Amino acid sequence: MENIDKMALEILGSKKFSMLGLEYLESVIFWFLDKDESKNVKKIILEGDYDIFRKNRHYKKFLKTLKAFLHDTYGVYQVKNIHKRDEIFEVMKKTKDTTKLLKLHEDILHCHSSSRERGKNYNEIYKKIFSHNKKPKVILDLGCGLNVFSMPFMNLKNFKYIGVEPVKEDVELINDYIKNFGKVYGFSGMGVYGNFFDKKYLKIISEIKSDFCFLFKMTDVLDYGKNDHKRTEEFLKKINSKCTVVSFPTKTVSNKKMNKPRRKWFELMIVRLGFELDYFEINNEIFYLLKS
């Protein structure tokens, strides 16, 4: 255990991963150790001397893969200046003017690449999503990023928003926002810690009943490191929601428009799982609405 702490602290020491938080990092390290097919690294980490094994080539390879995972599933979505969103949030707390306040929401949504890509389309996206149910009571947002700052664009009232993220600082920001602005925009809720690679969260998620569950741009994260979509399927089966909204980007990582943005594998899976399917596309994103 002591070695795991040392590893985690060393990773947290690099600026790029400094936000991740010990709890999440340690759970990712254990998950990777369990996946380590040769079991060599598990043995040397659990039994070896940290100062010696950190120079071991198998260990170095293990660390490289782990850092690549952290980058691809978390780091890549953050803006360079990770403190910018906190600075904007501090200004928000002092702002009374409603127009300025809305503009600050847009600015903070720019601090996460997924919400930045939606730009000014949130109003239109939510209008479509809630076209058949304008009075949801509970909205669950899995891997929510900074979406809590898009609540004013929903134009709904009296609902509960639950946003799930694996990094404590993000969860604190969500809770701080709801504490300060929930009443202003007419909703309540909370940010919750969750690591979707830890099986226990699948059970926890299945116990949360919601009217809408968002899985915006999450399938690549869920299916990370696999050649199949089994983890996405596991989630879809467990989510306990009247309507699950799954979105996908329609641009590649190199910013090119995809020729065939609709995901055939996903549409086939949905038919097989027996969901009713609705579909719309807005700007750079496609949305599937699944009803059971």
Ligand X SMILES: C[S@@+](CC[C@H](N)C(=O)[O-])C[C@H]1O[C@@H](n2cnc3c(N)ncnc32)[C@H](O)[C@@H]1O
Q: Can you give the binding site for ligand X, defined by CB under 6 A?
A: 73-74, 77, 114-115, 143-145, 147, 165-166, 194-197, 216-218, 221
Q: Which is nearer to ligand X, 71 or 242 (CB)?
A: 71
Q: Which is nearer to ligand X, 158 or 283 (CB)?
A: 283
Distance CA 10, CA 17 (A): 10
Q: Which residues pair with 281 in a beta bridge?
A: 286
Closest C-alpha among 271, 283, 15 to residue 128: 283
Q: Which is nearer to ligand X, 136 or 191 (CB)?
A: 191
**Phi, psi of 195, rounded to the nearest 5 degrees:** -110, 110
Q: Give the nearest distance from C-beta 126 to ligand X in angstroms.
A: 13
**Phi, psi of 255, rounded to the nearest 5 degrees:** 70, 20
Q: Give the nearest distance from C-beta 96 to ligand X in angstroms.
A: 28
Q: Give the nearest distance from C-beta 249 to ligand X in angstroms.
A: 8
Q: Which is nearer to ligand X, 52 or 76 (CB)?
A: 76
Q: Which is nearer to ligand X, 44 or 110 (CB)?
A: 110
Q: Give the nearest distance from C-beta 83 to ligand X in angstroms.
A: 17
Q: Which is nearer to ligand X, 195 or 210 (CB)?
A: 195
Distance CA 55, CA 91 (A): 46
State how far the alpha carbon of 106 is from the alpha carbons of 48, 77, 161, 216, in Å.
49, 16, 19, 18
Locate all alpha helices (DSSP H) within 111-187, ordered by sequence.
Answer: 113-118, 122-129, 168-185
Strands 276-282 and 285-291: antiparallel
Q: Give the nearest distance from C-beta 78 to ligand X in angstroms.
A: 8
Distance CA 8, CA 23 (A): 9
Q: Give the nearest distance from C-beta 158 to ligand X in angstroms.
A: 23
